[in-house]
Amino acid sequence: MHSRRIFWQIYPSYLIVTLLSLMAVFLLSSSAVSRFYHRQTAESLGLQAVFIEEKVRDLFDGTDLTGLNQQAEMLGSRTPARVTLILPDGTVAGDSEKANKEMGNHRDRPEIQEALAGHTGQSLRYSNTLRKNMMYVAVPVRLNDRVVGVVRVAMPLTAMDQVFQEVQHKIIFGGLVILLLAAVLSLLVSRRISRPLERIKQGAERFAQGDFSHRLHSVGSAEIGSLAETMNTMAAQLEERLQTVSNERNQREAVLSSMVEGVLAVDTTGHIISMNKAAAQFFSVFQPDTATGRSLEEVFRNVKLQKFVGDVLEGQDTRECEITVQNNQTYYLQARGTNLLGLQGRRIGAVVVFNDVSRLRRLENLRRDFVANVSHELKTPITSIKGFVETLLDGAMNNPAEAERFLKIVAKHADRLNAIIEDLLMLSRLEQEGKEGMELQNTELCGILNSAVEVCEQRAAAKNITVNVECPETLTATVNPPLIEQALINLLGNALKYSADGKSVTLSARQENGGVVLSVIDQGYGIEEQHLERLFERFYRVDKGRSRQEGGTGLGLSIVKHIAQAPGGTGSVQSRYGHGSTFSIFLPATQV
């Protein structure tokens, strides 16, 4: 509904009240002036009638109508009024305007009836004889306490009407002047009232738009000034509270954004209230800001999550479950849901917190795999040793040739157990000591590379494999030389082990990305892509039978990874199945 401005509510009201007042004054004054003139005219005519009654009283004592008629004409010529002399039976004995013979009986006239009754009669009516509005005043003519006739004096109202119209014109003119002055005064008063209110309205609109620095001026009446001051105070308090709310919201969003746990809040109808970045990342919601207000089914395509949130909304207790999400990567989430309560303790929805336990699950899987693998790796040589020892005890030792062969096999498996134990001890030492327990020194890398090649020279010669070294002579790095050499020996050993006879292996060192990269490049069988991610795990083997046949412990690459990580570096692999592999150790710039 459209509302009018306050100016157009006040100003027309003033004009209407003023106009109605002037109309009332005009009507009342016109009526009063009319009554006044009528009363004055009636009194004047009454005095004239009494004066004439005294003059003509004796003439009614007889039947001399001619004398009465002459007397009426004579008196009428001396006064502007019309004089009429009437007998008790209503016959007109004389008239100053008309011949008495031409006039009818006047006994039915109201003023005549009053006068014959002994009272002064008065009447206003239209005269058919003169064709004018007339005022009639009639007085009885008494003789010896007896009414012997009536003297009637009449005057036309034309002159009175003219005077009355002049008076009305003056009243109307004065009223118009007053109305004009009142209109101007009402305009000024209305503007004086409406303008401060308009300013307050404009200020309120600026407050609504967020401009709380604006202040209203206290101009006008005390009430409007008080209203302006109150609104200024309200604006200041509102700005302070909004700033507080904004700070609290920013702090809450900062806390939620920095949390590694995912947080999801929904209302009682299952529509999203808020969601932090961690929750959006877990469920691959690319635009979390647009999710607010949308239904849970629309944003999340996880049926188990939808059912879990529905159970939380229906129940009163805290609920927990584990949710697996598979997107670009697999997340194992521990979800904990509880009721979301408002200020009055009324339930307004539910909140769910997601803890990412993916690392724990992977560690558990690694632990299980490690236990299974290490048990298998240890069980194989132990079983072999036990079997051959039992064979010897059963009599094979009496055969020197067989006994020697069995003892060599037992020694071989014992050496394997010793290698596994030494590698495990090295891994444990690397994990415990880390960078703090490692002695680092600035060393030329070419010497380390050549030493690693010399250690592996016999194995390379056995398979007719050429080992090439590519290293700038001036290239140095701050490393632990024995450990780096051990890592390169492990990588070279694997490259020689899984390369065909007559191939070549390249050992290189170069500066890259502000650090140093040590690489071992072979032309072996290559590794399938699904194995690359787990290749540096302990006891992980691509081809278990072939690896054990080659005599590896399954810990070489894991040792390489820990040696690289100890000074802050990384180990990596690139491989194409059937085209060889490249194993690299990156040492960061701080180590150069």
- Amino acid identity of residue 450, one-letter, is N
Identical fold between 259-356 and 362-428: no
First to last CA, the chain: 79
Computed on alpha carbons and rounded to an integer, the radius of gyration of the chain in Å comes to 64
What does the pLDDT read at residue 55? 80
What's the topology of domain 7-164? Beta-Lactamase (3.30.450)
* Burial class for 241, CB neighbours closer than 10 Å (0-12, 13-18, 19+): exposed
Reported as type and span, the H/E element at residue 182 is helix 158-208
**SS3 of residue 575 by DSSP:** strand
- Amino acid identity of residue 441, one-letter, is Q
Low-confidence residues of the chain: pLDDT under 50: 1, 544-551, 591-592
**CA 412/CA 380 separation, integer angstroms:** 12
Q: Output the DSSP codes for 262-324.
A: EEEEEETTSBEEEE-HHHHHHTT-S-GGGGTTSBHHHH---HHHHHHHHHHHH-SS-EEEEEE
Query: CB neighbours (10 Å) of residue 488?
Result: 27
CATH class of residue range 439-591: alpha beta
Which among 250, 259, 294 has a CA at the least distance from the CA of 274?
A: 294
- CB-CB contact of 82 with 108 (8 Å): no
- CB-CB contact of 587 with 516 (8 Å): yes
What does the pLDDT read at residue 1? 46
Q: Give me the half-sphere count of Cα atoms (radius 13 Å) on the Cβ side of residue 275.
A: 27
Can you give the pTM of this predicted structure? 0.42
Q: CB under 8 Å, gap of 24 or more: what pairs does 345-349 form?
A: 347/268, 348/267, 348/268, 349/265, 349/266, 349/267, 349/268, 349/273, 349/313
What does the pLDDT read at residue 306? 85
**CA 107/CA 138 separation, integer angstroms:** 12
**SS3 of residue 369 by DSSP:** helix
Q: What dotted CATH number matches 362-428?
A: 1.10.287.130
**SS3 of residue 435 by DSSP:** coil
- CB-CB contact of 197 with 6 (8 Å): yes
Per domain, the residue ranges of the chain are 7-164, 259-356, 362-428, 439-591
Domain 259-356 has CATH 3.30.530.20: no
Give 338-348 pLDDT, tens digit per residue. Answer: 888 877 778 88
**SS3 of residue 158 by DSSP:** helix
Give 176-234 pLDDT, tens digit per residue. Answer: 888 788 777 777 776 776 677 777 777 777 777 777 677 776 666 666 677 777 777 77
Q: Between β-strands 330-341 and 347-356, what pairing exists: parallel, antiparallel or unpaired?
A: antiparallel
In total, the chain counts a number of residues equal to 592
- CB-CB contact of 445 with 482 (8 Å): no
